[in-house]
Structure 1
Amino acid sequence: MKIERVHVNQALLPVVGGTYRLSQTEVEALDSTLVEVVTDDGRSGWGETCPLGPVYQPHHALGARAALAQIAPGLVGTAIDSPRALARRMDGLLAGHGYAKAALDTAVLDLLGQQLGVPVSTLLGGALVDRVPSYYSVTVGDPDTGARAAAEKVADGYRRIQLKVGGRDLQRDVETVRAVWDAVRGRARLAVDANRAMTAVHALQFDRLCADIPFTLEQPCATLEEMESLRGRLVHPVFLDENTEDVAAVLRAIAGGTADGFSFKVTRLGGPTRAAQARDLCALRSLPHTVDDAWGGDVIAAACVHLAATVDPRLLEGTWIAHDWIEGHVDDEHPVVVRDGHIAVPTAPGLGVRPDPTRMTRIATYD
């Protein structure tokens, strides 16, 4: 089975409700890139990468498509028998840009699963469960609105709530945390995510002001050096997110004891194949983590769920997908959705989703 051509497609994903707010940015629509890899035996494998705007992390949609234009022509004619061999080939064509390579890695796993008649989760080590827990993200807003949204989602079956904070008066964030905790206490776990918006001093102050509330504090500061400076000084457990730029960064954080857990993004780590390495590093130290991506539709959601299903359930904090924030699917017959706070693991060979090409716009073809 060899790569015959690569199609690069665009899908625009408007945010339900108008705006998704984080500490340092807000978005109203997301630009997703979907890759279709077609083989000489007529199979199609799909991958997706959808950065959360251009400033959430050093990824953006135009950058992904430029990287794919550099890589894809050099993959035509390449045999697909090993995702790791493909990763080496891609690294030989372009340094870095793991978030673009992730779409191709996902597509190749999809193809191999179809060829072997097994779901992608099997290729990643084997599913341990038939559904994975999801969690809901409450965006930056006023205390009452956040508490109301959290309570509604807990009633829908979510057992973990992530609350976005930062980019405003510290006391307002504290008020919101207390309101949300009052709304969910005893019924759901709470994670508070600052998305790098705090200085180390602000993180220490925030931690002390909320010392009586049990939550995990996710990525309060921008750099890994700042995060390392907080080690042993905080009451709350700390998760790293944006600093996990690759598997090497994960290894550094684990070796240095910087993090009590992680919020992993599959495309940031370079795709499911390399994200599975981060999973295994966490397993060695019994570190909890999520398996998510920044945004996207059914394709990247399916990839996340397949990998999440292979994580030791006691270490899996949940899988966030954009289901609650986007309308429609690229595969109406096999959509990846949250029901009762959980996501079913696709069982069909490959990813288990077959995107409808009419739901997207063809950008380029490399053959």
Structure 2
Amino acid sequence: MKITRIVAYQVDLPLKEGRYAWSGGKAVDVFDSTVVAVETDSGITGYGEVCPLGPFYLPAYAAGARAGIVELGPQLIGCDPRELGQLNDRMDRCLRGHAYVKSAVDMACWDILGKVAGLPVCQLLGGRFGEDVLLYRAISQRSPAEMAENVRQYRDEGYRRFQLKVGGDPDEDIERIRAAAGVLQPGDRLVADANTGWTRHEAVRVVNAVRDIDVYIEQPCLSYEECLSVRRLTPHPFVLDESIDGLQPLLRGHTDLAMDVVNIKISKFGGLTHARQARDLCVSLGIAMTLEDSWGGDIVTAAIAHLAHSTPEPLRFTSTDFNSYVTVANATGAPQREGGRFSASGEPGLGVTPTDAVLANPVLEVA
């Protein structure tokens, strides 16, 4: 089997809430997603998706994903999409860095492998653990009262994990954490995610001010070293995200006891192949994980579900269902939330088919 053509499609994903805001005044109204189709000489096509969280979150941006595919795509024509180790080695040799560019291609090739094998991707990634996957809801940065009300509303919809977007003014963030914690019920979990937004002294102020609250602290500062210093000053469970983008940072974090939970984002690692490597390393080391991506629609949501569902439950802290945040469906067959949980599809591959509207407007083709 050989890759014969790679086609990319651009899809706007407007938000149901109208606006998603996080640290440092960053906000997005419409997410710019790229759907990639990898076609083969056997007639089987796989689909992937990459959707950076704007150009100011990680070193990634939407137009860059498409430009990178123009650069990388010709080097992949003629490759066997089922040989994922070789494919990723070739991508890494032909394009240094730019993990997010490779993510949708790798995802599409996992889709092909599942279709060829007649198995859902989660079985190929290690098997299906449990009946479903527990989800979190991200709470966009607003006033403390509004964020607490959002937590209450989403709890009524079945969510039990809440990720507060903080990383703003420390005094207001302290109020945000206290207000949200005040509406929780037994069994709920609250994460205060600063997305690198605090300086070290601000982070220390916040964690000391909320010592009496049951809350996880996520990525308070920009650098790993700053986060580690804050970690050593707080009794709260600690999550690292932006600082952990490969196996070496992950091993360093484990050695330094820098985190209790790590966030594995598919596109941050370069696709399901490398995300699985990181996941399996975490399983071996006993590190709990949030399994997700930067953002996306139905195809990314399906990939998240397969990665999460193939992860042992004791180390599966949470995941998320991005397709429930947006107003546009870019595929059918994706998992849909039920009571704060979802399940990976049992169909071969990712179990999704892009909608006709998506496939009608290709923005680039490599053959």
TM-score bracket relative to the smaller structure: over 0.9
> For residue 364 of structure 1, what is the amino acid of its counterpart?
L
In the alignment, which residue of structure 1 is the partner of 2:329? 329
1:125 aligns with 2:100: no
**Preserved CA contact (<8 Å) 2:265 2:292:** yes
Q: Which moved more, 1:51-60 or 1:118-127?
A: 118-127
Task: For 1:28 and 1:280, locate their aligned partners in 2 and report how far apart those are by CA, in whole Å.
Answer: 35
1:42 aligns with 2:61: no
> For residue 266 of structure 1, what is the amino acid of its counterpart?
I
> Please, what TM-score do these two structures have when normalized by structure 2?
0.96
SS state of the match for residue 108, structure 1? helix
In the alignment, which residue of structure 1 is the partner of 2:257? 257
Distance 1:185 1:171, change over 3 A: farther
Gaps of 5+ in 2: none
In the alignment, which residue of structure 2 is the partner of 1:113? 114
Task: For 1:278 and 1:16, locate their aligned partners in 2 and report how far apart those are by CA, in whole Å.
Answer: 32
In the alignment, which residue of structure 2 is the partner of 1:363? 363
**Preserved CA contact (<8 Å) 1:65 1:100:** yes
In the alignment, which residue of structure 2 is the partner of 1:340? 339
1:248-301 alpha-carbon deviations (Å, 9 max, x no partner): 221221122211111221110111111111112211222111101111111111
**Preserved CA contact (<8 Å) 1:293 1:321:** no
Matches within 5 A, 1:10-49: 10-24=10-24, 25-49=26-50
> For residue 223 of structure 1, what is the amino acid of its counterpart?
S
Matches within 5 A, 1:1-367: 1-24=1-24, 25-168=26-169, 170-332=170-332, 334-359=333-358, 361-367=361-367
Task: For 2:137 and 2:17, locate their aligned partners in 1 and report how far apart those are by CA, in whole Å.
Answer: 15
- Say what the alpha-carbon RMSD is for the aligned residues: 1.3
**Preserved CA contact (<8 Å) 2:3 2:39:** yes
Residue 31 of structure 1: how far off its partner (Å) = 0.6
Task: For 2:247 and 2:100, locate their aligned partners in 1 and report how far apart those are by CA, in whole Å.
Answer: 13
Task: For 1:357 and 1:249, locate their aligned partners in 2 and report how far apart those are by CA, in whole Å.
Answer: 41
Q: Which moved more, 1:348-357 or 1:318-327?
A: 318-327
**Preserved CA contact (<8 Å) 1:156 1:341:** yes
> For residue 366 of structure 2, what is the amino acid of its counterpart?
Y
> For residue 283 of structure 1, what is the amino acid of its counterpart?
V
SS state of the match for residue 177, structure 2? helix
Residue 187 of structure 1: how far off its partner (Å) = 4.3
1:114-138 alpha-carbon deviations (Å, 9 max, x no partner): 0010011111111112321111111
**Preserved CA contact (<8 Å) 1:130 1:345:** no
Task: For 1:331 and 1:79, locate their aligned partners in 2 and report how far apart those are by CA, in whole Å.
Answer: 25
SS state of the match for residue 41, structure 1? coil
> For residue 266 of structure 2, what is the amino acid of its counterpart?
V
> For residue 215 of structure 2, what is the amino acid of its counterpart?
F
> For residue 335 of structure 2, what is the amino acid of its counterpart?
V
Q: Which moved more, 1:195-204 or 1:250-259?
A: 250-259
**Preserved CA contact (<8 Å) 1:247 1:269:** no
Residue 181 of structure 1: how far off its partner (Å) = 0.6
Q: Which moved more, 1:355-364 or 1:86-95?
A: 355-364
1:68-103 alpha-carbon deviations (Å, 9 max, x no partner): 111111111112232111100111211111111111
Task: For 2:67 and 2:130, locate their aligned partners in 1 and report how far apart those are by CA, in whole Å.
Answer: 37
1:128-177 alpha-carbon deviations (Å, 9 max, x no partner): 12321111111111111111111111121111111111222x11111111
Task: For 2:88 and 2:356, locate their aligned partners in 1 and report how far apart those are by CA, in whole Å.
Answer: 26
Residue 211 of structure 1: how far off its partner (Å) = 0.4
**Preserved CA contact (<8 Å) 1:36 1:107:** yes
Q: How many residues align?
A: 365
**Preserved CA contact (<8 Å) 2:14 2:328:** no
